[in-house]
């Protein structure tokens, strides 16, 4: 145990001895004051439990308007980009040249004028 710890221990012992020697009236007043302080703090703790997060968030948004706007804008752009890529991807999946070449009907079928004529004649 070093010098500092010994000093702390002596101070604690002196305080404990002082508490034991307090008047009953002083002890009663201290206890009443403590109860009042605790009951005064209780509503604040309960409110903080329910709305504290929203309150903090609101304060943050108010104090960082520019950053919040930029973050919202970037988020919206990123979402728009992802959605667009997804839609384009879907479109390309079915419309790409590879799928045209891989389909049962060959490209010549779409370009053969004789086939068009033949279809028209058969439709009559």
Distances (CA, A) of 112 to 14, 105, 106, 115: 109, 12, 10, 5
The site for another protein (CB under 8 A) is made up of: 66, 69-70, 73-74, 77-78, 81, 92-119, 121-122
Number of H helices, E strands in the chain: 6, 0
C-beta closer to another protein: residue 17 or 119: 119
Find out whether 65 and 58 touch, Cβ atoms under 8 Å.
no
Compute the least distance from the CB of residue 86 to another protein, in Å.
14
Task: Quote the strand ranges of 9-99, DSSP E.
Answer: none
C-beta closer to another protein: residue 46 or 92: 92
C-beta closer to another protein: residue 46 or 90: 90
Compute the least distance from the CB of residue 95 to another protein, in Å.
6
């Amino acid at each position: 145990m070093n010098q500092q710890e010994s000093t702390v221990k002596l101070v604690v012992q002196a305080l404990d001895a002082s508490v034991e020697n307090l008047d009953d009236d002083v002890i009663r007043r201290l206890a009443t004051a403590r109860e009042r302080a605790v009951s005064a703090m209780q509503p604040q703790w309960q409110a903080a439990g329910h709305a504290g997060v929203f309150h903090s968030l609101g304060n943050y948004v108010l104090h960082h308007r520019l950053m919040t706007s930029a973050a919202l804008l970037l988020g919206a752009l990123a979402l728009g980009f992802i959605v667009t890529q997804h839609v384009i991807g879907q479109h390309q999946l079915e419309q790409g040249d590879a799928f045209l070449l891989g389909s049962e009907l060959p490209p010549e079928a779409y370009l053969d004028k004789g086939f068009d004529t033949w279809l028209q004649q058969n439709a009559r």
